[in-house]
Amino acid sequence: MYGYPTNYSNNYGQQNFSERIDSQIAQLQQMKEQMKNAQQPAINQTFQLAPTNNHTMRYANTIDDVVKETIYSDTPFFSKDMSIVWIKDSKGNIKTYELNEIIPKDSKDLQIESLQMQLAELRKEIRQNAKSNDEYVDESNEIEKSTNVSNVSKSTKKPKQS
């Protein structure tokens, strides 16, 4: 082909091909050496045996659920409706508190509350007056009964006999 003997072109192609394979093998060996020399990062494993978050909040249905829970620091347990809170310490002691929602009051709410208190006081006074009137009525009835008792005088005349 093209003025070269066929043997020569085949030998040149095989030599070029084998040189490329040798250079790739050399590159792979060089990469292998680099991998051996590169240090692998240290692997650190941390095991957390107890929770360290002291601000955990848990929910419980009853105090029995609180008793069953294992804790490592003071932990509040709230009921689902947020009306009761149990605080359990690491020794297992449990304190129970009742929660009430504080609703901010505006001027109308304060006025209504004031009027309701006044109404309750007036009702109390009315009841007290009614009781004292009942006592007065009872006493006056007793007095009237004692003064209205008729004193029938017996006649001293003897009936006529026939």
Query: By three-state DSSP, how is residue 87 classified?
Result: strand
Intra-chain end-to-end CA distance of the chain, in Å:
192
**How far is the C-alpha of 73 from the C-alpha of 156, rounded, in Å?**
103
Please state, in angstroms and as integers, the Cα–Cα distance from residue 156 to each residue in 149, 150, 152, following that order: 21, 18, 12
What are the tokens at 96? 């129970």
**How far is the C-alpha of 23 from the C-alpha of 40, rounded, in Å?**
28
List of the chain residues with pLDDT < 70 = 1-12, 40, 48-55, 135-162
pTM for the model stands at 0.37
pLDDT at 134: 72
> What b/e sequence results for 95-125 when a residue is b if at least 16 CB atoms lie within 10 Å of its CB, and e otherwise?
eeeeeeeeeeeeeeeeeeeeeeeeeeeeeee
Cα angle value 43/44/47 (rounded, 5°): 140
Cβ-based neighbour number of residue 77 at 10 Å: 22
DSSP label at 72? S
**How far is the C-alpha of 133 from the C-alpha of 138, rounded, in Å?**
8
**How far is the C-alpha of 30 from the C-alpha of 16, rounded, in Å?**
21
pLDDT at 95: 94
Question: What are the sequence ranges of the domains in the chain?
Answer: 58-98, 103-144
